[in-house]
Structure 1
Amino acid sequence: MSVSKSFHLVLLTVFALIATAGLFVEKKQLHQFGEQQLAQYQQSSQLKTMDAANGKAFYRQLAAEYDLQFFQYIHTDDNELSYTHGSLDKQGNVITSWLNIDLDDTRTYPGGRLQVRLDTSQLIDAALNDFISWLLALIAAYVILAIIFSLMMRKQAVSIGYAASYIQNLSEHKYTALEQSKLGGQFKPLAQALDNSRAQFAQTTANYEKELVALNKEAYQDPITGLGTRQKFTEHLDTITNGKNSRIGILAIIKATELGSINQSQGRAAGDNYLAKIAEIISDCAVKYEHAQCYRISTGDFGVIISDITLKDSQQFLAAIKTHFNEYQQTINADSIGHTGLVPYQQGTEAVPLLTLADAAVSIAQTLGPNSFHIQEKLNGDELYGDTRWQEAIEDLIQRRALKFYVQPISPCRSEVQVYKELLARFYNSEGKFLPTATVIAMAERHGKSIELDKLVILSTIKMLLEDPSIEGAFGINISSASAMQPSFVAWLKDILGRQRHIAARLVFEVNEAGLQTNFKAAHSLVHEIHSVGSRVSVEHFGMGLTSFKFFKQVRPDFVKLDRSYAESIDVDTNNRFFVKMMIDIARRLAIRVIACGVERQEEKLALERLLVDGLQGYYIAQPQAFRNKGGETASN
């Protein structure tokens, strides 16, 4: 039962009890007045002086003085002198019957007996009127109290409703200021509690929002570049695919083609700086367009989506990126910075074909020279795209023998140690523009051209040394693992080197450890055959495989070039120092020279020298330079 109903029930009960008590009071007063009236009648002198011989005359005398309900005089001897008037019964309602009192008087005279009952109608009517007045006053008081209580309950309901609404708003994370006037009086503690809860919830929500922003940033913002992640890029593509309006725009894919080379030669920190700078350039060029969104969609790939832009206007965006890439290229002395492929789209375009077209555009841009871009409008079957374009580009450079050599020396740590200079091949297209080396090698392997490419490098090196006697010293040549594991290639190499043994003695063939470890038998055969013609073998990125020490015993190369991760912070990394020292000790017993790569700081150089490595290579030692003979001519093919 509600408070309001309970209050009214209690109030009705109380007023009923009060009314009942009032009725009893009226009855008590009625008895008092009746007794007074009866006493006054009994003391009347008429009762003593009247002639009681005639009953009717006696009645008239008493009736003139008193109101009689019942009169009866019974003469002792003569019934004719007897007289009766009125009745002992009195009609009335429940209340008057309950209030009724009997004022009887019976007395005996010498001639008869008198019985009288005084009439109490006036007394009862007066008592009843008093009770009705009292009852009306009670009803009026009840109505007033009920109205006051209802108003109070209404006000309380408004306050409770406001409190409930406020709590609901808190559950919906709405933190409007509390109106204290609506929760005053007895609700003041509730108002204070709600206000405190609001402040705490607001603070907690603010903290959660900060954490959510941080998590969202971590999940959807690339930590190195600050751009959106691949997931956000995919979501954006979905809006293009599922869109039903006629909006147009462009999708640009920018490939950071030098990332692998920079990571290998300068370290991952330099690679991260390289990516961050590319992201900065892309953002600066895209900020001019209102609906541009930039993303890092893979390790070295960036995506830019610009809505509401025509293909003609997008050329300014591409030109700006190329200009900034060219400027950045000069500052870091790299072969290139990145290549851009661009395709237009219309709302509703499928994502997969769009990305395929953009990837093809990037591949074409890579064949056009450093920092080039290419716009691909559509695929019509008559043009060369992606892999096909690369296949023809590689075949073309092999046919033209289009490569130039750069050289990076290795510094010996002791005078008795004989090391070599590493030759780095750079390939260029028909326009004389350099192509990204890592992409050329990867595409050559994909299209089965790696052996031809390695043969080109080897033959070009032998030709250069034969034609220019002024070139002195030993030189390292990189050959792919795919070629090194092929018996036919090894036989060809042995045959070529066997014809020029004086040149072969100056060559060191560098092969990646991971590739050699795929086939120990083939790796052992490679080293044996190369040694048989007087050349030497160097294993690069050494120490990353799980079987590196087994490799020492079975393959026995002449040099191992430690992976650059071992040189990184070796001055403070005790674990690196322990592993490097262990590898040096084992290699020394097997007469294998250990070369540390990726040396970028003086502290790293000094720490490695103390560990007694045989040679050092890295940007701190010497940067790659275009190969020149003593006459100052650039070595090229």
Structure 2
Amino acid sequence: MKLTKILTTKLTSFWLLSLTAVGAIFFIGALVSFVQLTYKFQQQKVTQLETMLVQHYQPDSHWDLHAWLPPILIAYNANSFKLTQGDDIVFEYYSPTPQNNPTIYKHIIDPKADTAMELKLPQPYLLHQLGWYELLIMLVSLVAIGLFVRYGLRWFTHELDGVEQIAQRSKLVLDGKHAEALSAAGNGRPRLINRAMTKLLEQLQDAQKERGRFDQFIRSKTFLDPSTRIGNRIFFENRLEALTHHNCMIAHGAVMLINFDDLDLLQQQEGDEVINEQLNDLVQAISTLLQPYEDVVFARYDFNQFAIVVPQASLAEADTLANKLLKLGISQLKNQSDTQDNYVHLGAAFYKAGDMQEQVLEEVDMALKAAQLQRTNNWFMYDKGAVDKEIAKGSVRWRSFLENTLVNRRFVAITENVIDSDGHACHKEVFSRAIDNQGNEIRATLFIPMANKCGLMPQIERQLIETVLFELMAHNKDSFSINLSYDSLTSRAFIRWLRTTLMEQRHLASRLIFEVSEDIVVKHQQDLMENLNLLRKIGARLCVDHVGLQVVGTHYIQECHFDLVKLHRSIIHQIHLKSENQLFIRSLIGGLYRAEVQVFAEGVSRFEDWQTLKILGVSAAQGDYFNQ
């Protein structure tokens, strides 16, 4: 754009200079013509005087010259006149007010008589004075020329401004800002190119939306149940893997399995439409019941089974929820057969951090069988009686612990390298740990849910960012990615502090990457747009992580101008064996190819997974495989 501006300025200057040169040439030409014309007129007068002398001069009578010649010389404004015959002066005249630098004319009138004349006349152009009429004509002409030049300059500038608008739109297109280029249609010239660009951008926008809908279609066909539109078994397994690390549960919670006996027979009796309508009502009621719980997984595990995972739930909360779910199942899915008192069963298993995933699934299956053996609509909780000490902490104790940790600045940062396909470190992701009074580390998966409930996430993330800016970045040149929660992104005080800090440390802003969970962005996109754009304008990059957990379209990635996309570990786990996950990644990368958005992966633990990801087009990854 700077080059285009320079070129248009030079073109305008050249136009003005050319116009000025043409005007100057015309003016000089007119002046020369005027001077030449006056000399020609004066030459004609001299010739006429010479003719009169030849016709009326009588050598014997000098009186005749004194009678008629002086008035003519006075009329000519002559400085002097001398008529000689040989060495004798026949007639001589001198003006009482001679002028400087006269024009001298010497002519031989009669060669036989050796008669010659010498006439001195003033410069001819000095004898012509411009009157008011000529001055008025010149003034009108100059005004007309000025108006035409002004109009021409405005027209020329306007036309070139249209070219600059086309250049501006072209730069926006090259920068990937297609929405801004489409909204900046303006009056670009040539208009045919401007209209063509607008049409192509509209078609591109429609194509991007269609691609996002296609991606969502692929994900829905892969991970959603077609009847109830909730997650299917693959979705449930992926989400359950997201709650594990090395196949062990990260934190405590409860898994529930609701079974509807003889659902297939009931469907044959009542018809597909009736049963599907009842199932949809049941799904909607259960979804409403699960809204107060965070990160709940709700999926159709089998044709007649629904699975629910409630992370961070206590035993009391799990018992209460199981009772409500059983009542909902009985009331929503009506059974008029003889088995109406024995067709809904719920099995639940309470797990703690460190339990194996397969073990938890076996326990919930055993709990479901125990509920079915009671031969009545009932539920059964499989509980080993072992509850983590961390779980026993109530909300009050957690708040006291977190506030004390904040005051003593015992939130520490640990980093993990993100490695590209060439084996080089792209940046480091920052994770937080809390140090208790005994010096033990508390996992983020334990204190973050409690910090969210207590509203302390902005303070914790502020302390973490300060650690990164003033300790980690001060000792090396690496880039760092930091996770931001919804509470922090919507906190005015936190955003005001972050903006002031990044403006003061502007040279460090370009080395920061702020990560936001896909679930947060999808649910609160309009609320987060302003603050996300603020961080991007300051110079930081944006990343959306946990991509793949939700079955949503990908249009939000370009609307929010994310620079990086990070796939969740549940999509990555054993990717070389899961064709449906590979299809999702291919579709995602294909849709983001033109947007210049890099796709990363987290939780890579095997060589086969990393090789498959590189083949699919993933740019970089992190996980245990790179930390070994």
The reply to whether TM is greater than 0.5 is no
Taking structure 1 as the reference length, what is the TM-score of the superposition? 0.40
| TM-score, normalization by structure 2 | 0.40
Larger Rg: 1
